[in-house]
Amino acid sequence: MANVLHIVVCAGIVPDPLQTLEPVTGPNGPGLKNEMVLPAVLDPWAASALYEAAALAAKNPGSKVWLVSLGPKAKLQQVMMTVAQKAAFELVPIDGPIGGFPDAHSTAAVLAETIAALPGLDRAKLLLFGGWESATRGAGVTLQLVGERLGITDQFQGVDQIDLHDDGSFEVLERVEGGKHQVSVCAGAPAVLGWATGNLAEPRNNPQIGMANMRTLMPALQKAKPATLAANGLRYVSVALPKQQRTTRVVKDLTPDQIAAELVEWMGAE
Amino acid sequence: MEEILVLTHADETGAALTRASLEAVTAGKELAARLSASLTIGIVAVDATNLAKTLASAGSRLLAVSGEAFTQARYATDAAACEALCRAANATIVLAPGSSRITRVAAGVAHRLGGFIDTHITGIGGAEAVEATRWFYRQRVEGVLSRDARPWFLLLDAGTHAAFSGEPGTEQVEEVAVQLPAIRTTVSGLRAPSQGTQTIRPDAKLLLVAGAGWTKKQADGQTHTAEAADLILGFLRAAGSSLGSSKSLVDQGGEGNSVLPFLTHLNQIGQTGATPRHAKGLATCCHGEEPHVVGWRFIADRRAISLDPNCGWTRGKADVVYVADAFPVMAKVNALLEANKA
């Protein structure tokens, strides 16, 4: 028997990981140089959450996926052109700042307020998805704070798998230390799941899904509510690139025996 | 005056505090001494009495939340326990290990107390104010931050402080009562994702990283995945090292390609993987692209074996790069390690 789920995925946008990042400090605090022109992608772990959400919704007819994303409207539009080809969702954009330096508590407050006001959302069916950490701040706290604000006390982080049962309960695998998973069974929604990689490969672009998403995506972007994020007393003393510079010795003329001997000696040295 | 609370918890056995908890105790003692602040240690465990003995010489007030409900890590119960400990300690600064158990609940607890949280802290300093160091953009940008608001939760990355070690003794533990919420989640245990060899060893001195080159066609035009698996597992056995991987290699499993059967996403190092702490790292058949190398941030001594003399490792990301075929090199390394053992 299928369960009807209301899955809300919180996902930010981040600079493409291949880009060179240079921190700069402006009047509003630290940021990245040329941040607005850096190519951006959907936050990788949050993207895993979106693909898992779409797969779960597809298996449970009547379910719906919302994608709540906070970022500059223009950057959101750019990223969504690609993301919209991969999974069916309703975009809920929030026009706000980008980057890893704003306070997570402020971000969570804006997200929670937006989710609480979603038309048609049944909180009893709510699975709140997102990445367990972002590729910007990487604090792993935003989703948890949103969950607390929404009164959800079944939360799971570092999730790699969820198996939904007929009665609405689900088994969930969370990453813990030592390369293991903690296995839990939750009675059902509402719950918070901060996803790690999951088990799904990135879906291929599907023009039909893209067309369906586009019907609602552009109007939603035009109506995106602006949001400002309070600093909450967060003060940056310094923000800098790491100073460590290695001088690499490139060895091209040793035989496998010689390399092996050198490596074994290196491994044994303190 | 600051009131410092260190949150600790028992390990899987329930008979000892986790190493990360003991590291947080060291951090708490150092910070309390510097700020002339009072120090309280809170313990979450089935039975905290025995665990408290190891903290007798810490010179702090000890609080505990005990009971069967705290045998295993679960949001509803752990958040209630940590909230009760924080309220009992009236803490203004809360230090805690960045373990999966504490990380799962600490932000929620901070919110319940009207406080704020920063995680992945790698250092605590500052002269006038408390300043915390952490990384942004997956270990690519380092920041030092401070907050005036209290309570302020700081979750410490493992390996950033020495583990507290003191003479065992008897210390009075104050039990803190917890009002448990309705429990809707049952923890059934731990599961290792790959059967057989344990490949992830956080305490190992050496990290071996396997890149996608291991499963690519070799000079004879064929793939040698089984041989690669034997070489890698042989090295893990002989060297006692931990195994990491690049994203491209673990992703091959999901794409139906030839794969190393013992690798999962848990082995993945880098931007969307782990950032482990090992003294040394050896990369094999890996290009050393930036999204992967950010996961090496805390590995000081790095070497790589790559056929590509222009790979990322040669551009200041490794100390030594051997331009060579990893297959014969690792076979020789394994033979030498086995010979040394014999």
Q: Which candidate, B285, B250, B255, places its Cα nearest to that of A179?
A: B250
Q: Among B265, B297, B303, whose Cβ lies nearest the Cβ of A197?
A: B265
Q: Which of residues 82-101 of B touch A (CB under 8 A)?
A: 99-101
Q: Among B202, B255, B316, whose Cβ lies nearest the Cβ of A248?
A: B316
Using left for φ > 0, alpha for ψ between -120 and 50, and beta otherwise, residue B14 falls in: left
B222 in contact with chain A, both atoms CB, cutoff 8 A: no
Chain A interface disruption, residue of B118, B302, B313, B333, most A CBs within 10 A: B333
B140 in contact with chain A, both atoms CB, cutoff 8 A: yes
At residue B203, the pLDDT reads: 84
At residue B264, the pLDDT reads: 83
Q: Look at residue B182 and tell me if it is in a domain.
A: no
B14 and B78 fall within a common domain: yes
At residue B257, the pLDDT reads: 62
Q: Look at residue B216 and tell me if it is in a domain.
A: yes
Per residue in B274-293, pLDDT (tens digit) is 889 899 999 999 999 888 99
Q: Among B108, B254, B320, whose Cβ lies nearest the Cβ of A201?
A: B254
Residue of B nearest to A43 (CA): B272
At residue A27, the pLDDT reads: 86
Query: What is the secondary structure of B28-83 as a DSSP string?
Result: HHHHHHHHT-EEEEEEEES-HHHHHHTTGGG-SEEEEEESGGGSS--HHHHHHHHH
Q: What is the mean pLDDT of chain A?
A: 94
At residue A244, the pLDDT reads: 66
Number of domains in chain B: 2
Q: Which candidate, B278, B287, B283, B276, places its Cα nearest to that of B303?
A: B283
**Rounded average pLDDT over B297-301:** 91
Q: Which of residues 8-67 of B touch A (CB under 8 A)?
A: none
Q: Do A145 and B336 touch (CB under 8 A)?
A: no
B11 and B132 fall within a common domain: yes
pTM of the model: 0.90
Cα–Cα distance, B61 to B29 (Å, whole number): 12
Residue written as token pair 């009807």? A4
**Domain map (residue ranges) of chain A:** 6-226
pLDDT at B163 over 90: yes
B69 and B166 fall within a common domain: yes
Query: With contacts defined as CB-CB under 8 Å, which chain B residues touch A178?
Result: 200-202
| Residues in chain A, pLDDT under 50 | none
B171 and B214 fall within a common domain: no
At residue B238, the pLDDT reads: 92
B151 and B297 fall within a common domain: no
Q: Among B193, B303, B337, whose Cβ lies nearest the Cβ of A181?
A: B193
At residue A179, the pLDDT reads: 84
**Rounded average pLDDT over B266-272:** 87
Measured in degrees and rounded to the nearest 5, phi and psi for residue B119 equal -120, 175
At residue B61, the pLDDT reads: 97
Residue of B nearest to A256 (CA): B329
B237 in contact with chain A, both atoms CB, cutoff 8 A: no
Q: Is B9 helix (H, G, I), strand (E, B) or coil?
A: strand
Query: With contacts defined as CB-CB under 8 Å, which chain A residues touch B136?
Result: 100-101, 136-138, 239
Q: Look at residue B201 and tell me if it is in a domain.
A: no
- Here the CATH number for the domain that contains residue B248 is 3.40.50.1220
Q: What is the mean pLDDT of chain B?
A: 93
Q: Is A198 helix (H, G, I), strand (E, B) or coil?
A: coil
B27 and B136 fall within a common domain: yes
Query: With contacts defined as CB-CB under 8 Å, which chain A residues touch B202?
Result: 177-178
Per residue in B184-234, pLDDT (tens digit) is 999 999 998 655 567 888 889 999 999 999 998 888 999 999 999 999 999
B130 and B222 fall within a common domain: no
Fold of A6-226: Rossmann fold (3.40.50)
Residue of A nearest to B104 (CA): A157
Q: Which candidate, B304, B177, B108, places its Cα nearest to that of A147?
A: B108
> Residues A232, A115, A71, CA angle at the centre, nearest 5°?
60
At residue A76, the pLDDT reads: 97
Q: Look at residue B187 and tell me if it is in a domain.
A: no
Residue of A nearest to B187 (CA): A184
Domain that holds residue B11: 3-175
B200 in contact with chain A, both atoms CB, cutoff 8 A: yes
Distance from CA of B49 to the nearest CA of A (A): 25
pLDDT at B53 over 60: yes
Cα–Cα distance, A5 to A215 (Å, whole number): 22
Q: Do B112 and A182 touch (CB under 8 A)?
A: no
At residue B95, the pLDDT reads: 98
B14 and B133 fall within a common domain: yes
Q: Look at residue B192 and tell me if it is in a domain.
A: no
Chain B interface disruption, residue of A182, A193, A238, A265, most B CBs within 10 A: A182
Q: Do A237 and B107 touch (CB under 8 A)?
A: no
Q: Look at residue B191 and tell me if it is in a domain.
A: no
**Rounded average pLDDT over B307-315:** 92
**Rounded average pLDDT over B50-56:** 92
ipTM of the complex: 0.94
